[in-house]
Amino acid sequence: MSNVTGKAYGMNVITPMKPWRTWFNRFSFMISRSIPSSLGGLLGLRFIHFARWAIIKRDQWPDLGQGKQQISNDYLLFCSNFNGTWDQYIDAFADGLPNGLDLLWFTSTKYPHSVPITPFKNYIRANQIDTNYYYNSVPGAAQRDVTAALRVREALLKLEANLQGSTPEQFRALFVRYLSTVQNDLGYEGRAPVASNDTENAEINREDYLHFAGELATSAR
């Protein structure tokens, strides 16, 4: 599945906005930046790696050889990376940040509001664009795994800094001390739980193709 790599899912959603409404969206962005608590529900969702909303005005689309396009609407681009399934993400988003979502997407054409959840999911699904290429440097680790690993690294560096000239007894005491602070962070990487048998079977069926495509690309260099 192109939107998934390891335990991470990449989402891109682009929704049209009437140009005369864009100013309100910029104003809502100013509010969210100046009052971070308005997005407090988002900051508390630890399985989210990244989430960003960006306004693309109708005259800002790049010309890649197709010529200048005549577009009637401005657009709101939403990009996010997260752990878990698509449904889990949308459910958590709508539960944790309903007012914030309405504030940010209010100007988008035919936006149904985040509650009730079914029309909101249908809206996101209709405007989502699949990710053609999605790279993850740590596919076996979720966001919490990476954060935990950074805490373990910090503890090891502190242990190393305090080892100079220590006796075996002092080393043992220091080791136990730092180990106790990160013992809950000593996890391990692994495959994500299977959320869909169809998706899992599709991944298995395309392994041979990906292997062949990789060899073909290598030989063509």
Q: Could you list the residue range(s) of the whole structural domain that residue 84 is in?
A: 4-127
Please indicate, yes or no, whether residues 27 and 110 belong to a single structural domain of this protein: yes
DSSP state of 79: E
- Asked if residue 132 is part of any domain, the answer here is no
One domain for residues 62 and 160: no
Domain count, the chain: 2
Q: Which of 204, 157, 161 is nearest to 182 (CA)?
A: 157
141, 149 Cβ separation under 8 angstroms: yes
Q: What is the CATH number of the domain that holds 77?
A: 3.30.70
Q: What is the DSSP string of 207-220?
A: HHHHHHHHHHHHHT
In a structure prediction context, what are the per-residue pLDDT tens digits for the chain, which is 221 residues long?
A: 578 877 888 899 999 999 888 888 888 888 777 776 666 666 667 778 888 889 999 888 888 887 878 888 999 999 998 888 888 888 887 887 777 788 888 889 999 988 888 899 999 999 999 888 888 888 888 888 888 999 999 999 998 888 888 888 888 998 999 899 998 888 777 766 555 566 566 667 667 776 777 777 777 76
Indicate whether 147 and 104 sit together in one domain: no
In angstroms and rounded to an integer, the radius of gyration of the C-alpha atoms of the chain is 23
- Tell me, yes or no, whether 202 lies in a domain: no
Residue in 195, 206, 214 with CA at minimum distance from that of residue 8? 195
End-to-end Cα spacing for the chain? 26
Same domain, 63 and 99: yes
65 with 96, same domain: the answer is: yes
Which residues touch 120 (CB under 8 Å, ≥6 apart)? Answer: 90, 94, 101, 112, 113, 114
In sign, the C-alpha dihedral spanning 89, 90, 95, 98 is positive
Q: What does the pLDDT read at residue 38?
A: 63
In-domain check, residue 73: yes
